[in-house]
Structure 1
Amino acid sequence: MDNPACDEGMLIRTIRQFRLINQLFSASRRLIKKDFVSRMQPDRTKPYTFLDIGAGGCDTALWFADYCKSKGFPIRITCLDNDPRIAGYARRIIRKRENIELIQASVFDIPRLPRFDFVFSNHFLHHFSDSQIPKILDLMKVKTGIAFLMNDLHRSRLSYLGYELFALLFLHRSFARYDGKLSIRRGFTVADLRQLIARTQNPESFSPGRTFPGRVYITGLQPGDIPANRSIPAHFRRNMKWVKG
């Protein structure tokens, strides 16, 4: 998929299949509700802003826009993807959504963008080297007004074998089977995430964790922007204790 010379038809079919994979297995919706929605208040005059980095087919953005509408949370969503073929496909998908926009750009271009209340990525970090990831995390810290969440793949034999079986049965005529297994091999353990966090400018701003099925994540929030009636979630308190040693 990362090869700019790969077949475009296969690439778009892969993006469509990843929509199903994300819905079934990514845990993104559950994590977003826990770490973002819990901090939101309805009936605001100014909408919340949400940045989805490496948005692909924008399936998370579409779901979150609908969810926020059903709960009375005003939201404006910006999707970011660096591949012009995927960006072209995604623009067709979101063309009737007034509160969703797509920008074709790299994650390293986001210093040019405004700050967002919430910053999110799904299955994104494993595409980068260990030297790049701490820089990306530092960008998340700078560009986040309330909270950020970076969801990714847990590297394990069980995850690999489970995905292999699912892909063999349901994912055909795309890159999804091969690329998915490669992505799991390039995934992380919680210990890996802690080592990467330790190389950031503000390690205390990040909290690693693991969730079912086969996912790890990094979360963080801006303490000064926590609403007065909200307490700091337990996983942030645990991380703050870990950082202090």
Structure 2
Amino acid sequence: MPLLTFPRRETKPELMDDPECSKKLLIRTVRQFRLINLLFSASRRLIKRKLVSRMEPGRMKPYTFLDIGAGGCDTALWLADYSKKKGIPIRISCLDNDPRIAGYARSVIKKRENIELFQASVFDISRMPRFDFIFSNHFLHHFSDSQIPQILDLVEEKTEIAFLMNDLCRSRLSYLGYEIFALLFLYKSFARYDGKLSIRRGFTPEDLHRLITETRNPEFFSTGKTFPGRIYIHGFSRGRSR
């Protein structure tokens, strides 16, 4: 195990998290994330298994779905199309804290009636209503260990049915694979540097277990791993069966 993983989470901030970073490079990074998410994030597969499986086709009232740290809203766009194909009514809310990313995302979703975007921090969801489903992809690793239990508590509190937080497993194999991919396909953005740093800021199963034990209601959380190099936290609202 020690040979396969980095011993501890990296704490160095990513370039794209700097509010003074180049807007041009930031937006190009967000665009390149579409390809990265499609090929490697496993988010679509996990959403189908963990969240969509709990949705009923033909329901009169649309399900509410919150995507935290939505970036360019590629997950929301896919989910809107997929749920329509399955006959599942859904209303998707996307959340991103960076005004530059939020502006770009609004231009991407402007013709989608069932997708809306809020420029806000994850901590602002304390003032929002509950959502049937809450999701995040490659989001938690941007935060410190001290902040993550607070975020998990908020997500659990604001979930009506189920939540899923997909992230990066801190692995030397993932790091090497991404380094090769980035050298071949990622140019003129922060994606090459930040992607490798993100993996080092990622988690092991032991990390997530420890962080969950620091939440108010650890019994409502479970963890899992999936290919390629992803680790996630999954849970249900209080009183709902797993």
**Structure 2 regions of 5+ residues with no counterpart?**
1-15
**Structure 1 regions of 5+ residues with no counterpart?**
227-231, 233-245
Letter in 1 for 2:92: I
Higher relative contact order (CA 8 A, sep 6+): 2
* Aligned equivalent of 1:23: 38
Distance 2:202 2:177 in 1: 15
* Superposition deviation, residue 222 in structure 1: 2.3
* Aligned equivalent of 2:8: none
Distance 1:38 1:187 in 2: 27
Superposed, 1:169-180 pairs within 5 Å as 169-180=184-195
* Superposition deviation, residue 209 in structure 1: 1.0
Please state if 1:151 is matched with 2:166.
yes
Distance 2:239 2:60 in 1: 21
Superposed, 1:41-80 pairs within 5 Å as 41-80=56-95
Percent identical pairs in the alignment equals 77
Please state if 1:134 is matched with 2:140.
no
* Superposition deviation, residue 225 in structure 1: 4.2
Distance 1:75 1:84 in 2: 25
Question: What TM-score comes out, normalization by structure 2 length?
Answer: 0.93
Say which SS state the counterpart of residue 78 (structure 2) adopts: helix
Distance 2:126 2:181 in 1: 38
* Aligned equivalent of 2:210: 195
* Superposition deviation, residue 224 in structure 1: 3.2
* Aligned equivalent of 2:197: 182
Count of residues paired in the alignment: 227
* Aligned equivalent of 2:26: 11
Distance 1:223 1:101 in 2: 27
* Aligned equivalent of 2:13: none
Please state if 1:108 is matched with 2:123.
yes
Say which SS state the counterpart of residue 149 (structure 1) adopts: strand
Query: Aligned-pair RMSD on alpha carbons?
Result: 0.8
Distance 1:224 1:95 in 2: 37
Distance 1:62 1:14 in 2: 18
* Superposition deviation, residue 179 in structure 1: 0.3
Deviation beyond 3 Å, 4+ runs, structure 1 = 223-226
Distance 2:194 2:64 in 1: 31
